[in-house]
């Protein structure tokens, strides 16, 4: 787990920035039940296959896996259930307009703890084309090569 600006990052969706162009981000609370917060604090969360669904009035986090809490009794939670997101009406309307009018997708990017409360950062995103993804890979590889060359050069200068 990492700390960033007073936030304890529990889980990241690393594929989100690669698969989508993130247009606008929102912070949402999550309606949790029972042992889910204990499992989140233990870091047993995966956002890999998750997305956000909305109907214009409410928003739900779908496909996020919060593992069952190992020290719980028989009253443990369902790991794959849909969880309601806590957003302002205006934010839900903005998300709904983005999905309905502009053909965008809502993806969760980061799940973190702030002041003991679980929050999720969601983003209104537009899907990247295959050639955009190839460009990103090519740029990353070129930067890596430049860094290696600079590293080798600085090592040679030290001898």
pLDDT of residue 72: 72
Q: Assign 3-state DSSP to the chain and report helix, strand, coil percentages, each to 5.
A: 35, 35, 30
Question: Do 63 and 50 form a contact (C-beta atoms < 8 A)?
Answer: yes
Cα dihedral 155→156→157→159 (10° resolution): 90
| Token duo for residue 128 | 């990247």
Compute the distance between CA of residue 34 and CA of residue 153 in angstroms, rounded to an integer. Answer: 56
pLDDT (0 to 100) of residue 2: 67
The CATH number corresponding to 2-128 among 2.40.30.110, 2.40.280.10, 1.10.510.10, 1.10.240.10 equals 2.40.280.10
Rounded average pLDDT over 50-67: 94
- Span 41-52, pLDDT tens digits: 999 999 989 999
| Residue among 58, 62, 60 at smallest CA distance from 49 | 62
- pLDDT tens for 66-108 read 988 887 777 777 888 899 999 999 999 999 999 998 889 999 9
Q: What is the largest CA-CA distance in the chain?
A: 66
| Positions of E strands within the chain | 2-4, 7-12, 20-30, 45-46, 51-54, 59-62, 65-66, 83-86, 105-114, 117-127
pLDDT at 133 over 90: no
Instruction: Give the tens place of pLDDT for each residue, 8-49.
Output: 999 999 888 888 889 999 999 999 988 889 899 999 999 989
């Amino acid at each position: 787990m990492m700390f960033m600006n007073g936030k304890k990052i529990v889980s990241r969706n690393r594929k989100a920035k690669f698969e989508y162009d993130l247009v606008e981000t929102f912070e949402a609370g999550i309606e949790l039940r029972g042992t889910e917060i204990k499992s989140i604090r233990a870091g047993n969360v995966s956002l890999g296959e998750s997305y956000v669904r909305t109907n214009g009035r409410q928003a739900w986090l779908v496909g996020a896996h919060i593992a069952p809490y190992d020290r719980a009794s028989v009253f443990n939670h369902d790991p794959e259930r849909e969880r309601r997101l806590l957003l302002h009406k205006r934010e839900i309307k903005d998300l709904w307009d983005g999905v309905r009018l502009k053909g965008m997708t809502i993806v969760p990017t980061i799940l973190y703890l702030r002041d003991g409360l679980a929050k999720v950062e969601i983003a209104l995103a537009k899907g990247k084309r295959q050639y955009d993804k190839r460009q990103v890979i090519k740029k990353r590889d070129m930067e890596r090569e430049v860094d290696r060359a600079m590293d080798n050069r600085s090592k040679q200068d030290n001898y």
